[in-house]
Structure 1
Amino acid sequence: MRLFALLLLPSLALAQTGAVVQSPVPSRGVTLPPTSAALVDEATALSLNPAGLGYLDGSQLFYLHERNLARDGVGDGVFLATRFLGLGLGGSMEWIRGRGEPDYRKTSLGLSLGSRTLQLGGAWHAFSSDDGDVDDLSSFDLGLTARPARALSLAAVVRDLNAPNEGAAELKRKYNLGLGVRPLDERYTLGVDWLFQEGDFRGGQATYTLNAEVIPGLRLGAGVSHGFTDGVPLALQLGVTVDTSRVGLTYALGGAEDGTDHVVALRLSSEAYRALRPPGGVVTMLDLNDLLAGGTSPLLALLGTSGTDPYLRLSRWLELAAKDERLSGVVLKMEGLPGVSWGKAEELRRSVLKLRASGKRVMAVLLAADDRGYFVATAADRIYAVPEAMLPINGLSAHLQTLGGTMQKLGVHWDVARVGQYKSAPEQVASVAPSEPWRESVNAYLDTQVAWYTKGVSEARKHPPEKLRELWATGQVIAKRAHELGFLDGVILPTELDAKVHELVPGGRFRTTYAPRDEREGRWGQRRRVAVVPVIGTIAGGRSREDPLGFSQIAGAETVVRALERAERDPSVVAIVLRVDSGGGEVLASHVMYQAVLEAAKHKPVIASMGDYAASGGYYAAMGAHEVYALPPTITGSIGVYYIKPALQGLLGEKLGVHQESILKAPLADLFDTWRPWTPEEQTAVQAWVEASYDIFITEVAARRKLDKARVDAIARGRVWSGEDAMARGLVDRMGGLQDAVDAARTRAGVSPDEDLDVVVMGEARGFFSSLGGEPGVRAALALLPEPPPAFPEPLRALARQAGLNLELLRPGVKAMMPFQLTVE
């Protein structure tokens, strides 16, 4: 009969084992539901182990009410905690009445600092009471929690460290050693504590705790405590917690020989907890235009602050969403794809297909979509458009423009030294019309891309290719006609969207604030990580940066080298993914990046992932990886170098009347002067310089790709390839996007597919003043190359883009860049 009674009793002996030991002034305060010094990591940690405050990532408010009917004892407690400047801060106030002891109020303040694996915390407690001895008491606690692994938590707490005493009131120093284990996963947690007073280790009290998440949002807890000597009673506690995202309610029942305790706890939190899920799951909207256009404000960018590249953020969102059991459907709102060319469009499409493969339902709603946008939309289960949607789905084209005729009229001559007939970048300013190799290269790329695009749409919509050509022939197709041709599943009004979502996911609950992994982190220890190092934009010396208005991005060699060194040294990083989205730039900066990739690859797996572009200098950096991934439409290759210089005598001298005389002390002293054209000797000297640089380039390609050097020379010479064509020629290892590269890095690092890894970006571009401060490492110091002059004015850049000209090719120096500005529409 006594055992049956004990099964109905809870006591905080497991949470705070000092509860059953009578003393003139008990310092434990309000009884907590089942927990342990090694397990507690909420605002209530202030009462048990202040180190637990450090595991908060938001703010929490707890209210606890305790009542013991047999002793007529009542306790109330309010606990508040938050995270501020990396510290866990907490404060509480507890009122204890009717325990056969003096009534008192306990006020506590605490803080904790450290990392996810180790936290050190301290707490101060002050007592107020009508009893004069109790009223003068204050004590200190010191706690330590270590969570070195996902399945292990260790705690050590010294309570009442100062052992205060005032008259008859005395608080003896106590020690609490705690162990927490998770033998399966985060759903099941076991805790063991040993609490003892100073000088009486054997007379201590053992507590055993079990917490289990039965289903998301419903947790059960149980604990039992006992001693190994006479005078330490047996106590038991059972508890149940129901969680919604921001609110939780706990009821615990238990006690010991002196009666039954009832404890009710109410939680309010800014952090989202795993909650009871609606039957149909969550449906959310993903506004691709908004997410891809998002970034840092111009003011913050000017001050040197920036965020992760919007596209990389979107890729991570899609990867995590595919694994989220809460999510059942996604509505893709499509109004544009800023900064996305065909390579990233293919990558987005694959990510959407992975969403569907994971069991999510996907619906695309088109407000505006060209061929790229429609191609991404074909990955969805259903495609709808609003009646007035702009749908210029009219096929692919590329425009080759040259300014040679304009330069002739201006009197500007261009000196060019290059290797390879396909390295046609100088032709944009030096030629009157595109050369045949230029036309051949672009034609071949377009043919490959059209075949790939047609196949993807035909398979998705189950139409023959001729049907897509009929759509193309329409030009600016209206939504109704696209539906008639079978390329839309319907034309809808915005007011009909809710009904369509209900058809797609019956019972689903629409939630605009959804974000993957937005629930409170209950995992112990630190996840191992894959570091993504971006090479985005034109390659140059110095640090990666972007202008305040977001018009240009520079992939700085110093930033990339630093990021690779950091990832190489970080023990939590198991592998590196080099994300390349660059048409190249300075040869020296590209070579420095390549050498840094080679060095990192000696220590950890390095996988290269190519986006829209990984050409010339971009390919140079990527080829140092263990494996190179590209997408079918990725523009890559363009292995070649050139140097270009204007001769302005015709414009400045003959047309504007400027006069210049040169006084030379060596035959080639004004080799790079921009006044007159090169002499034959000067042309020969620069050509030899460029050819030597090209020879280094193809030698490194041959070594890394295990190809004959003559074979590399045949497929190089500035020729641009699609990702598929590059793989057929041995320049690329596999077809795949960023997530495929991350998976390959995981595999090469020997990480189990079941292990949850974090993906972190190291080395993002920064703002205008980002180059201030900081000391580079030895290898990074080599990357402190001269930064290029300030960017050309944006109006001139916009005009140049319209004309198909990349102004970066006009900067001084040997270039390893894409031979032309290729925009496929």
Structure 2
Amino acid sequence: MIGFIGALSSEQETVIAENSVLHLNLDAQITEQQVDNPFEGLPVLGGEVASVGLIELKEALRKAKDDTKIKGIYLTVSYPMTGFATLEEIRMSLIDFKSSGKWVVAYGDMMSEAAYYLASAADKVYMNPQGDVEWNGLAIEVSFFKRMFEKLEIKPQVFRVGEFKSAVEPFMLDKMSNENRLQLTETINSIYDYVVTQVATARGIDKAKLREMSDKMLVRNAKQAVEYGLIDSLLYDDQLTAELKNRLALADDADIKFVKLNKYRKSYTTYKAAKSEIAVIVGDGEIMPGKGSDGIIGGDKFAEQVRKARENDKVKAIVIRVNSPGGSFQASDIMWREITLAAQIKPVIASMGDYAASGGYYMAMGCDTIVAQPHTITGSIGIFSVLFDASDLMTNKLGITTEQVKTGEFGEMITISRGLTDNEKAVWQRKTEEGYEVFTSKAAEGRNMDVEELKKVASGRVWTGTQAKERGLVDVLGGFDDAINLAAEAAGVSDDYKVKYYPQKQPFFQELMLQLEENSKVNALQKELGMFYPYYLQLQRVQHYNGTQARLPFELSIH
């Protein structure tokens, strides 16, 4: 076993053959940074789901653009697992790759709307004759927890401020309010308008016609997709192979030299000799206090990374890469403090991913310049406080009762074992209102706006990147590369700099050992709690919302 692991973890130099094709399979979980997994694709623990790091993918496309051995890209995509802002980053890199005169061919047995949006950047889009392509518009799905709480006998105690009420709807309702439905309708139409505009440009189809095709779902099978111009041709695998061989000027009996992304990444070095450094500090996931982990931005650890970049004389500028729906208000404020201190010394640019909402926006608002994609979900400037009274769950389902002795009028202010008194509720409401004033005043300062003007676009309201720019919450519509260029220009190092990413990812096997340790703890808990373990999981999830939160007010899924 040790020899097997050693063989998997050993690095081998990869030599790319002449006349090769870079094969990108983007039916994967696309995250900000990649954890190299030698088990990927194997039926073993940790190998089931393919993953692609956005930063590493963009870097590979930059290298392939100038690599004379790479003649083109073969893109296979049906159901990419990511948001539209991330897809836009990849589209922009594919378009940049094509500017070298090289080609991109996309193929899918099926294509979701997201997959087709990505594929539309290719020179040619092909599909299996019995395939299907979605072109019927986007939808936003919001999860509501009211009935779950009722079944679990948990009572949410909610404190809010501002005119916009959707921030707590998932805890109190089982469907959208009219106001929230209007907001989300505007949001999804803003995103889709940009999608349709880009596809119209890429495919040479009139925008109004594309919208009609979508609204009326005129494309319902692969043949119609060709008739309406979404797909170039319907090809079986052998026909696609012949098409690629023709592009490569290969004989019929020759083999195509495909190079997969992970293998191609081992063919070059990312090292660059430069005196100046631009530090990219990546925040990907929910915001929590402490050190964080994969999918969790630890406020303390992130702040430490910003502080180190500020104190490092080699670092001439900082890019804060944010992909977060928010989370803990205090952790967000801790990171904001370090970001504003850094901005006093050197340029700090914010680059927004799929989400930079509430606590995610809190991170960005202290930067000199904010760059967002048109599809980015941002804003949600507001906070709410939630405490959950789980006393009935504990008593009726778990058989646990509690009793409290206190020295004064107020008991423990964060507790799930009892409901709050009226006086304690009043304290929480004041605390929430004070937090909202802190958030909005700091946002107004960061954006050079009057506080009252800022509040008109705050109150928890969600905006797309396009809408946010129109309202002064974002400076530039663009991607990660634009943020890097802005940072280099602001620091005066455009001619000579290297980019370094923080925090540095842990080696896969270190992550695997931690996961195995965590799994052993989970197994022990399952045995101990038995049939009550699902209730424990729900309780753990609820506790993430306990206290004052600066987070996107709903779990939002766009598809």
- 1:284 alignment counterpart: 22
* C-alpha deviation, 1:575, in angstroms: 2.2
CA RMSD of superposed structures (Å): 3.8
- Secondary structure, aligned partner of 1:379: coil
Inter-partner Cα distance in structure 1 for 2:444 and 2:377: 20
Task: Label 1:652 to 1:507 Cα distance change in 2 as closer, same or farther (>3 A).
Answer: closer
- 1:453 alignment counterpart: 195
Conserved in 2, the CA contact under 8 Å of 1:642 and 1:814? Answer: yes
- Secondary structure, aligned partner of 2:317: strand
Task: Label 1:432 to 1:496 Cα distance change in 2 as closer, same or farther (>3 A).
Answer: closer
Alignment of 1:529-568 (within 5 A): 529-546=277-294, 553-568=295-310
Structure with the larger strand share = 1
Conserved in 2, the CA contact under 8 Å of 1:309 and 1:764? Answer: no
Inter-partner Cα distance in structure 2 for 1:516 and 1:405: 48
Inter-partner Cα distance in structure 2 for 1:481 and 1:385: 12
- 1:487 alignment counterpart: 230
Task: Label 1:292 to 1:411 Cα distance change in 2 as closer, same or farther (>3 A).
Answer: closer
- 1:82 alignment counterpart: none
Whether 2:264 is the aligned partner of 1:515: answer yes
Counterpart of 1:319 (choices 42, 49, 62) is 62
- Secondary structure, aligned partner of 2:346: coil
Q: Percent identity?
A: 29
- 1:412 alignment counterpart: 154
Conserved in 2, the CA contact under 8 Å of 1:580 and 1:618? Answer: yes
- 1:816 alignment counterpart: 550
* C-alpha deviation, 1:322, in angstroms: 3.2
* C-alpha deviation, 1:632, in angstroms: 0.6
- Secondary structure, aligned partner of 2:136: coil
- 1:686 alignment counterpart: 428
Whether 2:237 is the aligned partner of 1:497: answer no
Counterpart of 2:114 (choices 353, 363, 372) is 372
Inter-partner Cα distance in structure 2 for 1:299 and 1:556: 27
Conserved in 2, the CA contact under 8 Å of 1:321 and 1:516? Answer: no
Whether 2:77 is the aligned partner of 1:330: answer no
Stretch of structure 1 that moved more, 473-482 or 422-431? 473-482
Please list the CA deviations of residues 455-486 of structure 1 after superposition, one character each: whole Å capped at 9, or x if unmatched.
22222222233345435644884322211221
Task: Label 1:769 to 1:314 Cα distance change in 2 as closer, same or farther (>3 A).
Answer: closer
Whether 2:375 is the aligned partner of 1:633: answer yes
Conserved in 1, the CA contact under 8 Å of 2:276 and 2:493? Answer: no
Please list the CA deviations of residues 152-202 of structure 1 after superposition, one character each: whole Å capped at 9, or x if unmatched.
xxxxxxxxxxxxxxxxxxxxxxxxxxxxxxxxxxxxxxxxxxxxxxxxxxx
Task: Label 1:489 to 1:628 Cα distance change in 2 as closer, same or farther (>3 A).
Answer: same
Inter-partner Cα distance in structure 2 for 1:751 and 1:323: 23
**2:547 aligned partner, one-letter code:** G
* C-alpha deviation, 1:341, in angstroms: 0.8
Task: Label 1:744 to 1:819 Cα distance change in 2 as closer, same or farther (>3 A).
Answer: same
Q: Which runs of 5+ in 1 are unaligned?
A: 1-84, 87-268, 547-552, 773-788
Conserved in 1, the CA contact under 8 Å of 2:143 and 2:554? Answer: no
- 2:87 alignment counterpart: 345
Alignment of 1:24-63 (within 5 A): none
**2:118 aligned partner, one-letter code:** V
Inter-partner Cα distance in structure 1 for 2:92 and 2:417: 52
Inter-partner Cα distance in structure 2 for 1:721 and 1:806: 30
* C-alpha deviation, 1:296, in angstroms: 4.5
Conserved in 2, the CA contact under 8 Å of 1:362 and 1:382? Answer: yes
Task: Label 1:270 to 1:342 Cα distance change in 2 as closer, same or farther (>3 A).
Answer: closer
* C-alpha deviation, 1:333, in angstroms: 1.5
Alignment of 1:612-761 (within 5 A): 612-651=354-393, 660-753=402-495, 755=496, 757-761=497-501
Inter-partner Cα distance in structure 1 for 2:241 and 2:39: 38
Please list the CA deviations of residues 248-282 of structure 1 after superposition, one character each: whole Å capped at 9, or x if unmatched.
xxxxxxxxxxxxxxxxxxxxx9575xx9x96xx64
Conserved in 2, the CA contact under 8 Å of 1:607 and 1:629? Answer: yes
* Structure whose CA Rg is larger: 1
* C-alpha deviation, 1:572, in angstroms: 4.1
Inter-partner Cα distance in structure 1 for 2:259 and 2:553: 44
Inter-partner Cα distance in structure 1 for 2:504 and 2:110: 31
Alignment of 1:3-82 (within 5 A): none
Inter-partner Cα distance in structure 2 for 1:758 and 1:563: 18
Inter-partner Cα distance in structure 2 for 1:574 and 1:534: 17
Inter-partner Cα distance in structure 1 for 2:161 and 2:505: 31
Whether 2:343 is the aligned partner of 1:607: answer no
TM-score (norm 2): 0.81
* C-alpha deviation, 1:760, in angstroms: 2.4
**2:558 aligned partner, one-letter code:** V
Stretch of structure 1 that moved more, 814-823 or 668-677? 668-677
**2:298 aligned partner, one-letter code:** G
Please list the CA deviations of residues 206-256 of structure 1 after superposition, one character each: whole Å capped at 9, or x if unmatched.
xxxxxxxxxxxxxxxxxxxxxxxxxxxxxxxxxxxxxxxxxxxxxxxxxxx
Whether 2:232 is the aligned partner of 1:470: answer no
Whether 2:174 is the aligned partner of 1:427: answer no
Inter-partner Cα distance in structure 1 for 2:118 and 2:79: 11
- Secondary structure, aligned partner of 2:141: coil
Task: Label 1:608 to 1:663 Cα distance change in 2 as closer, same or farther (>3 A).
Answer: same
Task: Label 1:507 to 1:761 Cα distance change in 2 as closer, same or farther (>3 A).
Answer: farther
* C-alpha deviation, 1:432, in angstroms: 3.8
Inter-partner Cα distance in structure 2 for 1:521 and 1:401: 41
* C-alpha deviation, 1:375, in angstroms: 0.6
- 1:580 alignment counterpart: 322
Conserved in 2, the CA contact under 8 Å of 1:806 and 1:821? Answer: no
Alignment of 1:580-599 (within 5 A): 580-599=322-341
TM-score (norm 1): 0.56
Counterpart of 1:398 (choices 135, 140, 143) is 140
Please list the CA deviations of residues 353-387 of structure 1 after superposition, one character each: whole Å capped at 9, or x if unmatched.
21122322111112332111111111111111123
* C-alpha deviation, 1:623, in angstroms: 1.5
- 2:503 alignment counterpart: 763
Higher relative contact order (CA 8 A, sep 6+): 2
* C-alpha deviation, 1:408, in angstroms: 4.1
- Secondary structure, aligned partner of 2:108: strand
Inter-partner Cα distance in structure 1 for 2:401 and 2:368: 55
The count of corresponding residues between Structure 1 and Structure 2 is: 516
Q: Which runs of 5+ in 2 are unaligned?
A: 1-9, 514-520, 527-532
* C-alpha deviation, 1:570, in angstroms: 4.0
